[in-house]
Amino acid sequence: MKNITVVGDSHASALGVALSEASRLYKLDMFSNSIVFSGRSAYTLDYETLIDRSNIQHDTTILLNFGECDIRRHLPKHKNAEQVVEKYVNTSLKFFDGLNIVFMLPTPQAIDQLTYEFNYNKDDWHTFDRRLKQQTIFYEALKNSGQKVIDIVDALGVDRLSWEESDDGCHLKRSLLLKLGVYIYNAVD
């Protein structure tokens, strides 16, 4: 049986539910749960203050899912995606040392008209083109980190969210989450 613990921002909540649902619907030999820190930045992660490591089973695969918030809110301004990924990976490897760790590329950015930040406060809002550029840099840096990475673009077949993939401008629709759950099950050892 595969034992997967999803650790991440708000996307980890829906993904944890999707993995459980995919397991039940498709009779996958898998147990999953999630540890969720909504709105948390990959750059400022401090697992020591967030997670009691003794509560994590030794045989679990840790599926890390951070970065979407960084890409949407911070990276278009700071333009430091490579440094964010490096810090994220190093912090994660140190805290989860000895466990099977898999990183997942962050959920793709939503088109401007779909994201809830569209036209709100121009000082805090970054256009889709700027976010997509940082998403591409973040994705490449994570893929080149030397770590196991789940390629969400490969799993979903899209590198951006439209009305077809998301209702709220940020999170994936249930049908895509189930598809992603099966993909993860097949990709994780």
Residue 113 contacts residue 160 (beta carbons within 8 Å): no
User: With 80 as the cut, is the pLDDT of residue 163 above it?
Assistant: yes
141-160 pLDDT, tens digit each: 999 999 999 999 999 999 99
Residue type, 12: A
Q: pTM for the whole thing? A: 0.93
Q: How many CB atoms lie within 10 A of CB 33?
A: 17
CB-neighbour burial class of residue 130 (10 A; exposed 0-12, middle 13-18, buried 19+): middle
Cα separation values, 69 from 26, 31, 39, 161, Å: 31, 27, 6, 15
36-85 pLDDT, tens digit each: 999 999 999 999 999 999 889 889 999 999 999 999 989 999 999 999 99
* Distance from the Cα of residue 76 to its chain's centroid: 18
